[in-house]
Amino acid sequence: MDVTQRFILWVRTCCGSCRTSSSDSELKSDKKDIVVIRKTNPVEAPNRPLPPLPLKDIYVALYDYTARTVDDLSVRAGDRLVALNKSGEWWFVRAISGISANKEGFVPANYVAQEESIYAEPWYFPDTKRADAEKMLLSEGNETGAFLIRQCESQKGDLSLSVLDNGKVKHYKVRKLDNGRCYVSIAINFTTLKELVQYYSKNNYGLCVQLMEPCKKLQAPQTHGLSYNTVDHWEISRSSIQLLRKLGAGQFGEVYEGLWNNTTPVAVKTLKCGTMDANDFLREAQIMKKLRHPKLIQLYAVCSLDEPIYIITELMKNGSLLEYLQKDKGKELCFSDQVEMAAQIAAGMAYLEQQNYIHRDLAARNVLVGENNICKVADFGLARVFKLDNENVYEAKEGTKFPVKWTAPEAINANKFSIKSDIWSFGILLYEIITFGQMPYPTMTNYQVIQKLSTGYRMPCPANCPDILYNIMLDCWKENEVDRPTFETLQWKLEDYFELDLNSYADTNRIP
Ligand code: ATP
C-alpha cells in the first residue's frame, strides 16, 4: 500500500480504549505523548521522519505469532521489536529484525518480553510448577542437559533450576546471598542468573549434567481475545466466522470447529433458538469474558444480534474430558496423569472461587482437553442463563435437562447454588476421572440418587482408587456445605498428591 494512502493517527499512549475504538474519528489528538497508529496492513516504515524510537522499549518476541488481522504483525520467537504503544493486552510495535523487520502492527503483549530482562531469556519459565517443569522437560524435543529456571512453589521468591538427565528430571535450588548474588552451590556465586547459566553451560561441576539447550516451550499462551480490537468490541460479525466441522452437540445447541477471519481456529457454540434470553446471556457473558485463567476456556467473542447466538471460544484439540476418558486416549492415562488433570481443574475452579463466581454445571462433559492432557473448565456461568426445565428435575432422564447426579442436595432441593455446590460436583468429577468416564451411581436412577443421598448414602470407593483420593471425594460430598473443602485446598492437595519433598532437590555438595 502506498505510503500516502496510510492513515496516521496520533493517539495518547496512556489510553487503551481509544486504541480499540472502532471509529477512527473518535481517536483524540494529543501532542505530548505520542505514538503512531497506522490503520493499514503492516507495511514498511515510511521514509519520511517518524518520532524517534524509544530505544529503552526494545522487546523480544518469546513465541511465534502469525498475524490474524491486517493490523497485526507476524513475528518469530527472537525477533526484536520496539514498543510504540503498550496500553492494554495488545501492543503496537515496530519490528526491527526478523520476518517483519521495519513493519508495524499489533502483537499480543504476553508474547513479548523486554530485551535483556530475565523474562526474555529462553530458559526462564517463571510461572511453571515443578510438575509442569518435569512434564515439559520430559516431552519430545528435549535431550539430556535441557533445562529451565522457574519460581519455586514451596518458597516464594526462590528459584529452582530443573534439568533433564537421561530421562529423569533433577531440581536444584537457586539461592541468593544477602548481597543479591545467586548460587546453586555455596562454593561459587554469580551476579546474575545469566552468568550462572553461562557457567553451568560450560562446566557441570556438581550438577548432574552440563546445561545444554533451554527446555522447548510446549505451546504459546492464549492471546487475550482474538485480536486487539475484539478485546472490548467483542460482538463480531457473523460473516467473519466460517463453520468448518461439527464437533458435537449438547442440550442447548451444536459446537463447530470454525475459522475466524480466515486465520484463526476457534470453537463456535451455536445455541438453539429460545434456549436463553439474549439479554440475560449478554449480561452473563460480560462477566465471563473478564474471567481469564490458563485453566478456563476463554470466551473470545459473540454473535448475539441474531439467532442462533454464536459463542466463540478457544478450540481444544481433544474435545470433552468425558469422551477423552472413555476413548482410546483415556486408556493411555496413568494414575498420576489422572491426578494431574484433576489438579488442573481444581486450579481453574480455585480461580472462579477467588473471583466469587459459580460454575453450576461442573462435570467431565464440561471440561475440555488440549494437547499434553491440558484440561480447561468450560461452560462456566452458562447454567445460570439456560432456561432449565425445573419442573422435570426429578423425572429427568439421565444426562438430560438437569444434571441431578452432579448436583449437591441443597442445590437440587432448595436451588441453593454456591461454590460449595460446585465442590460437590467436583467430587463427582473426580469419580468420573478415576473410573475413566463411568456414569456416577451407575445402577441408580436420578430419583433413587436423591432419595439415597438424604439417608447419608455416598458412592462407594471405585475400584483401583486409593483411599487418599476417595477421602477427597467424601470431603466434597459432606452434607453440610461449610464442611466441604475449598477449591484452593483441593488444588494444593492434588498438586502435592505425590508429595512435594524438599529433600528431593538434588545435591550440589560435590561442587569444588
Ligand atoms: P451440555 O451443553 O448439554 O451440558 P455438552 O457440554 O457436552 O453438553 P456442548 O458444550 O454443547 O455440550 O459441547 C458438545 C461437544 O462439543 C463437547 O462434548 C465437545 O466434544 C465439543 N466441544 C465443545 N466445546 C469445544 C471446544 N471449545 N473445543 C473443542 N471441542 C468442543
Give the whole-angstrom CA distance, residue 512 versus residue 187: 7
Task: Tally Cβ neighbours within 10 Å of residue 190.
Answer: 17
pLDDT given at position 135: 86
In a domain, 222, yes or no: no
In a domain, 175, yes or no: yes
How far away, in angstroms, is 152 Cα from ligand 1 center? 36
Q: For ligand 1, atom 11, which residue shows the shortest CA distance? A: 250
Name which of 225, 222, 313, 224 is nearest 270 in CA terms.
Answer: 313
Tell me if 347 CB under 6 Å of ligand 1: no
The pLDDT tens digits for 426-460 are 999 999 999 999 999 999 999 999 999 999 999 99
Atom of ligand 1 nearest to the CA of 313: 27
In a domain, 115, yes or no: no
Q: Which of 200, 219, 253 represents a domain boundary (last residue)?
A: 200
Choice from 245, 255, 281, 366 to test ligand 1 binding pocket (greatest atom count within 8 A of CB): 255
Do residue 330 and residue 304 come from a single domain?
A: no
Atom of ligand 1 nearest to the CA of 316: 28
- Side by side, the strands of the sheet bearing 188-190 are 147-151, 159-165, 168-176, 182-185, 188-190
Contact (Cβ atoms closer than 8 angstroms) between residue 36 and residue 30: no
In a domain, 224, yes or no: no
Task: Tally Cβ neighbours within 10 Å of residue 147.
Answer: 28
Do residue 388 and residue 280 come from a single domain?
A: no
How far away, in angstroms, is 292 Cα from ligand 1 center? 19
In a domain, 485, yes or no: yes
Tell me if 270 CB under 6 Å of ligand 1: no
Q: For ligand 1, atom 9, which residue shows the shortest CA distance? A: 250
pLDDT given at position 430: 98
Do residue 343 and residue 303 come from a single domain?
A: no
Name which of 312, 341, 311, 348 is nearest 324 in CA terms.
Answer: 341
Do residue 279 and residue 382 come from a single domain?
A: no
Tell me if 268 CB under 6 Å of ligand 1: no
In a domain, 503, yes or no: no
pLDDT given at position 233: 80
Do residue 175 and residue 282 come from a single domain?
A: no
Give the whole-angstrom CA distance, residue 173 versus residue 184: 6
In a domain, 429, yes or no: yes
Tell me if 247 CB under 6 Å of ligand 1: yes
pTM score over 0.85 = no
CATH number, residue 291: 3.30.200.20
Q: For ligand 1, atom 30, which residue shows the shortest CA distance? A: 319
* Cβ-based neighbours of 443, under 8 Å, separated by 6 or more: none
What single-letter DSSP state applies at residue 349? H
Tell me if 370 CB under 6 Å of ligand 1: no
Tell me if 368 CB under 6 Å of ligand 1: yes
Do residue 365 and residue 411 come from a single domain?
A: yes
pLDDT given at position 239: 94
Tell me if 161 CB under 6 Å of ligand 1: no
Q: Is the previous residue joined to 308 through a cis bond, with omega within 30 degrees of 0?
A: yes
How far away, in angstroms, is 253 Cα from ligand 1 center? 9
pLDDT mean by block of 10 residues, the chain; 512 residues: 32 30 31 34 46 71 93 94 92 95 95 92 88 88 95 76 94 90 90 94 88 90 87 87 93 90 93 76 78 92 89 93 91 90 96 91 95 90 56 36 89 90 98 97 96 96 95 97 97 82 49 34
79 is catalytic: no
Hunting for cell 473410573 — which residue is that? Answer: 435
CATH number, residue 126: 3.30.505.10
pLDDT given at position 275: 72
Rama region for 441: left / alpha / beta (φ>0; ψ in -120 to 50; rest)? left
Beta strand residue intervals within 357-445, DSSP E: 367-369, 375-377
Name which of 476, 474, 458 is nearest 466 in CA terms.
Answer: 474
Catalytic residue among 71, 361, 379, 422: 361
Tell me if 373 CB under 6 Å of ligand 1: no
Q: Which of 179, 200, 221 represents a domain boundary (last residue)?
A: 200
Domain that holds residue 344: 321-495
Do residue 336 and residue 479 come from a single domain?
A: yes
Tell me if 386 CB under 6 Å of ligand 1: no
Q: Is the previous residue joined to 221 through a cis bond, with omega within 30 degrees of 0?
A: no
Atom of ligand 1 nearest to the CA of 254: 11
pLDDT given at position 419: 94
Atom of ligand 1 nearest to the CA of 252: 2
Contact (Cβ atoms closer than 8 angstroms) between residue 149 and residue 156: no
CATH number, residue 380: 1.10.510.10
Task: Tally Cβ neighbours within 10 Å of residue 430.
Answer: 25
Extract the C-alpha cell encoding 480. 453440610
Do residue 370 and residue 487 come from a single domain?
A: yes
Atom of ligand 1 nearest to the CA of 255: 16
Do residue 326 and residue 285 come from a single domain?
A: no
The pLDDT tens digits for 493-502 are 998 888 644 4
How far away, in angstroms, is 323 Cα from ligand 1 center? 10
Give the whole-angstrom CA distance, residue 42 versus residue 490: 47
Give the C-alpha distances (Å, rounded to integers) separating 426 from 132, 237, 408, 462. 22, 36, 10, 15
The SS3 call for residue 258 is: strand
Choice from 241, 247, 260, 371 to test ligand 1 binding pocket (greatest atom count within 8 A of CB): 247
Tell me if 318 CB under 6 Å of ligand 1: no
How far away, in angstroms, is 54 Cα from ligand 1 center? 46
The maximal CA–CA distance of the chain, rounded, in angstroms, is: 81
User: How many domains is the chain built from?
Assistant: 4
In a domain, 4, yes or no: yes
Q: Which of 200, 217, 248 represents a domain boundary (last residue)?
A: 200
Do residue 336 and residue 404 come from a single domain?
A: yes
Do residue 336 and residue 470 come from a single domain?
A: yes
Q: Is the dihedral of CA 200, 204, 205, 207 positive or negative?
A: positive
pLDDT given at position 386: 56
Atom of ligand 1 nearest to the CA of 361: 4
Do residue 258 and residue 395 come from a single domain?
A: no
Strand partners, 102: none
Tell me if 376 CB under 6 Å of ligand 1: no
Q: Is the dihedral of CA 208, 333, 429, 220 positive or negative?
A: positive
Rg (CA), the chain: 26
Extract the C-alpha cell encoding 497. 498428591
